[in-house]
A and B are shown apart, each in its own frame.
Chain A
Amino acid sequence: MTETSPASADFSESRVPLWLTKVWASADRVFGDSGFRKKLRFFRTVLLFKDLSTRDLATLVKKTMEKSYGPGEIVFQEGHLGRAFFVVADGQVEILRRIQVDESPQVVARFEKGDFFGEMVLLDELPRSATCRAVETTRLHILYKDHFDSLCLQSPRAGVSILHALGRLLSARLRRERRSLGTPLVR
């Protein structure tokens, strides 16, 4: 899916004269931010954000920051308070958790480019349930929880869209966990 700049997308959606579109395209070449457009295209591929309007997505992307982590560097640690949601821009991270109390932590998941993690922070403000560590040099997009909350207040439609996607994801995970444990579901 190709992403135009937020404003030119608005133009393409409405019936605007061709000359005005051309003027806008010229202005976009002068003032436009190609790096930002690239970031928008990347975020459009993330499941939680794929149904957002272009403007809401642009608002959200503007609120994110980037950080590079060295191999083995801890992104967050189990028990620490979570305040941010992460999307892998490049590289790979692994999630570690102790299965038994006296055991050393084991890798329970790996996330690569385009994957996201730490999404529970968007729902509650509780300590992290696992530790996350960079496997190789990794670049992450970071969305701070308060910025997500302010987006929800500013654009409830965007908030509903993200939280619905998050709800569907959690429901699918719960069903899978139940199936793997063999516990019958109450219907």
Chain B
Amino acid sequence: MSLSPSDPSHRSSTLPVTTLFIVLGLLAWFFYTVRGVLAPFLMGMIMAYLLNPAVAYLEVHGVRREKAVVLLTLLLGTVVTVLVYFGLKALWQEIPNLRDDWPGYMRQAEASLRQIQVLLETSWPHLRESKYFGNFFTGGIDRLQNIALHSPALMASFFHLLVNLLLAPFLAFFFLQAGPRIAQLGLDACPGLWVERFLNLLNKGGQVVGNYTRGILAEALLVGVFSTLGLHWVGLNYALLVGLSAGVGNVVPYGGPVVGAVLGVIAAFLQFSNLTGPVQVLLVFVVVHYVDSYIFQPLIMKRSVDLDPVTVVFALLCGAHLGGLWGLILAVPTAGVIKEVGAVFYVWYRAERGLIVPSKEIALLAQKPWVV
């Protein structure tokens, strides 16, 4: 049952659906076109999501939002400075060691390559005649180093990352200040009849993104810590660097152990020059993967996105195809939001066709006389 169709307010129930889809489509196209510059904004939004509960806590205690954000920024600035000075000092100590040890490792790698070359040439003597085969092994390591250290693309990527890392906290500050105002603007622009749907979509989407962001970062931290401890236990020299890379790599689902295992196996091969070291490192990451899959993920991620592994892998492939690294990072929360939005639309559809009714038990109980 609804108001008569001649009622002017009735029109608003169908018009906004078309408008909403056109606006969403245009927005999606626009963001896809400018995806190259979105990285710092996304990082800023992620930081704002993480910090929002602390701002909300201060607000509930009567502090104005603008001042709560300033207070929190000052506090975090201090904490980060202290962390960089004391906590990351160990990491900075490893980098000069790595720089000193690098030529030795390269010589070791060159020798290993030479052994492989000799082995291959003994087995297949005709390979000796191939010019390309000889060139591949002679100076191969030097060429790889040159590509890695003097590639303009690599330097540009590093510069971009640095700019993004510096820009993200500033953007997070503004997102934190303006967050509720943006939501309020959306609500003000929303036709009256669509308010509850707008709130439903806003909150379901926000819940998925917020829970996922907090969950994945907590999981990344745990994977990083456990990997570092495991690698330290097997005696790898750069346990902290490799462990940290595994933690950062875990921002992409299933990525942490893979990144960690690749880097760890290379580091172990260079350090130990045998097979036992790399195998031990590989075992560490197999254990980390299983602990992550069966303990961390069910504990941390169960409330964030309820997606089966096939959907996660499909979303990751689509994300990588459409947006590269950022596509990989954003694939799962986007799939989660799409799923939630679909569920919300389905429930509305059912409700408006009178398909949502009280449960059988409640309906049976409601038939009994009312006793006071």
Chain A positions near chain B (C-beta within 8 angstroms):
5-8, 28, 30-33, 36-37, 55, 58-59, 62, 65-70, 72-84, 96, 98, 101, 104-105, 124-127, 131, 133-134, 142, 144, 146-147, 171, 174-175, 178, 185-187
Q: Mark B337-362, 1 if CB is under 8 A from A, else 0.
A: 00000000001100110101110000
In the bound complex, do residue A84 and residue B62 qualify as a contact, i.e. CB atoms below 8 Å apart? no
- B28 interfacial by beta-carbon distance below 8 Å: no
Closest residue of chain B to A35, judged by CB?
B64
- Hey, which chain A residues are within 8 Å of B348, CB to CB? 80-81
CA–CA, A69 and B371, complex, Å: 41
In the bound complex, do residue B63 and residue A32 qualify as a contact, i.e. CB atoms below 8 Å apart? yes
Closest residue of chain A to B353, judged by CB?
A79
In the bound complex, do residue B351 and residue A80 qualify as a contact, i.e. CB atoms below 8 Å apart? yes
In the bound complex, do residue B199 and residue A65 qualify as a contact, i.e. CB atoms below 8 Å apart? yes
In the bound complex, do residue A77 and residue B13 qualify as a contact, i.e. CB atoms below 8 Å apart? yes
- B12 interfacial by beta-carbon distance below 8 Å: yes
- Hey, which chain B residues are within 8 Å of A104, CB to CB? 4
Contact of B351 among A7, A36, A37, A79 (CB under 8 A): A79
Given the contacts A96-B3, A144-B203, A74 and B188 also touching, CB distance less than 8 Å: no
- B91 interfacial by beta-carbon distance below 8 Å: no
* CB interface residues, B 143-202, toward A, < 8 Å: 183-184, 187-188, 190-193, 195-197, 199-200
- B298 interfacial by beta-carbon distance below 8 Å: no
* Shortest Cβ gap from B148 to chain A (Å): 49
* Shortest Cβ gap from B321 to chain A (Å): 34
CA–CA, A65 and B10, complex, Å: 24
* Shortest Cβ gap from A73 to chain B (Å): 4
Looking at chain A's contact residues, the main secondary structure is mixed
Q: Mark B312-336, 1 if CB is under 8 A from A, else 0.
A: 0000000000000000000000000
- B370 interfacial by beta-carbon distance below 8 Å: yes
Closest residue of chain B to A65, judged by CB?
B187
CB<8 Å pairs between A and B, sample of 5? A67-B188, A69-B192, A72-B9, A79-B1, A146-B207
In the bound complex, do residue A66 and residue B184 qualify as a contact, i.e. CB atoms below 8 Å apart? yes
Given the contacts A75-B192, A81-B196, A147-B203, A185 and B62 also touching, CB distance less than 8 Å: no
Given the contacts A33-B59, A66-B184, A74-B3, A142 and B195 also touching, CB distance less than 8 Å: yes
- Hey, which chain B residues are within 8 Å of A124, CB to CB? 358
CA–CA, A58 and B358, complex, Å: 33
In the bound complex, do residue A81 and residue B8 qualify as a contact, i.e. CB atoms below 8 Å apart? no
* Shortest Cβ gap from A20 to chain B (Å): 16
- B222 interfacial by beta-carbon distance below 8 Å: no
